[in-house]
Amino acid sequence: MTKLETINAEDLQNRTYEPTHFLVDELIPEGLHILAGAPKIGKSWLALWLCLCVAQGQPLWNFATTQGEVLYLGLEDSFQRIQTRLFDLTEDAPPTLHFAIMADTLKHGLEQQIEQFLTEHPTTKLVVIDTLQRVRGTGSDSNLYANDYQDIGLLKQLADKKHIAILLIHHLRKLHDDDPMNMISGSTGLSGAADFSELFAINANSKQKSGAWAFLSYLLTQPCQEEMHLRLPVNDSVLQAQLAGLLEKETITQHEIDMFYQMVDGLQAADYPTATVEQIIREELAPYLAGEAEEETAWKIQSRVQLMLAEQFD
């Protein structure tokens, strides 16, 4: 048995600790972080931009960065694809930004690979793993929380030991949840083990409002939307090029394109009462859980939602 190492409150108050060091002021301190979002929304673009800012010592939006070397593990990309993105973001790529497109998994060599890189590049400040799923093993589903917490804990220990920031790129669940943290794919062990869990939103009181709008504006640019391969891009130049390509392949006709633009011109934003719909589902789930047939429950939900929408929008 190992004896507990304790410290009393008086000694703790008298102890001096170094302040938390931020890689990006007010946004990203040393430690482990998760950037989660829906597929094709621009997570990799944002992560690459962050890497460039840190490697060049340039501000991220209006937030100062601590300059240092960066390791980007683009495990779902090729070097050619990363090169294309780099040319879209900068004409002067720094030698302090390093890339790898293959790596071992957690508990099977990844930690040692990162430590070896940090030994060879001691001024490294940031490691990005894109994506988390690519470095995870095939653990048992019997205790998903424990597996998630253990995997993330290994990377957190490494970040704390080396005084660096590690950013994990991850996906969201498809199902909506009122708590955004619950939408991170996997169990709450992922967000629970990470150091940084602040949520960013665009509202009148947000400290990151200008930066968030800047990122959204960037997502609407032609290079970004071309890279995302959207089915319906909102950038008009990308949309026109896409429609022209379909027309050339005779997949669609000019008449269908004209009809499409007529429909787009007539679109209006609708504020759908999602909270009311969720309430209807919750109410109708009770009889289903008590034994009511699936078809009966689905029919009741559909009927009530249709009636609610008709009353609101007719």
Q: Per-residue pLDDT for 100 more than 60? A: yes
pTM of the predicted model, to two decimals?
0.61
Q: Per-residue pLDDT for 193 more than 50? A: no
Does the residue 189 lie in any domain?
yes
**Among 23, 79, 13, which Cα is nearest to 55's?**
23
Q: Are residues 136 and 250 in the same domain?
A: no
- Write the pLDDT tens digit of every residue in 231-282: 677 778 888 888 888 888 877 788 878 777 777 666 655 555 555 777 787 7
The residue with greater pLDDT, 39 or 186, is 39
- Write the pLDDT tens digit of every residue in 83-93: 988 988 888 89
* Contact yes or no for 47/10 (Cβ under 8 A): no
Q: Are residues 171 and 72 in the same domain?
A: yes
- pLDDT, position 69: 97
Q: Are residues 160 and 255 in the same domain?
A: no
Q: Per-residue pLDDT for 187 more than 60? A: no
Q: Are residues 83 and 149 in the same domain?
A: yes
Name residue, tokens 């970004």.
Answer: 224
- pLDDT, position 277: 74
Q: How many CB atoms lie within 10 A of CB 164?
A: 23
Phi and psi of 157, rounded to 5°?
-60, -40
Q: Per-residue pLDDT for 184 more than 60? A: no
Query: What distance in Å separates the CA atoms of residue 20 and residue 163, rounded to the nearest whole number?
Result: 10
Q: Are residues 190 and 80 in the same domain?
A: yes
Does the residue 223 lie in any domain?
no
- pLDDT, position 199: 46
SS3 (DSSP) at 63: strand
Q: Are residues 59 and 191 in the same domain?
A: yes
Which residue segment(s) compose the domain that 289 sits in?
274-313
Q: Per-residue pLDDT for 128 more than 90? A: yes
Does the residue 9 lie in any domain?
no
pLDDT band at 80 (very low <50, low <70, confident <90, very high): very high
Q: Are residues 88 and 177 in the same domain?
A: yes
Across 43-68, average pLDDT = 89
Overall domain count for the chain: 3
Tokens linked to 256: 């269908």
CA distances from 141 to 87, 137, 195 (A): 42, 12, 24
Q: Which amino acid is at 254?
A: Q
Q: Are residues 293 and 190 in the same domain?
A: no
The residue with greater pLDDT, 190 or 189, is 190
Torsion of CA 206, 211, 216, 221, to 10 degrees: 160
Query: What distance in Å separates the CA atoms of residue 51 and residue 57, rounded to the nearest whole number?
Result: 10
Does the residue 63 lie in any domain?
yes
Across 109-123, average pLDDT = 95
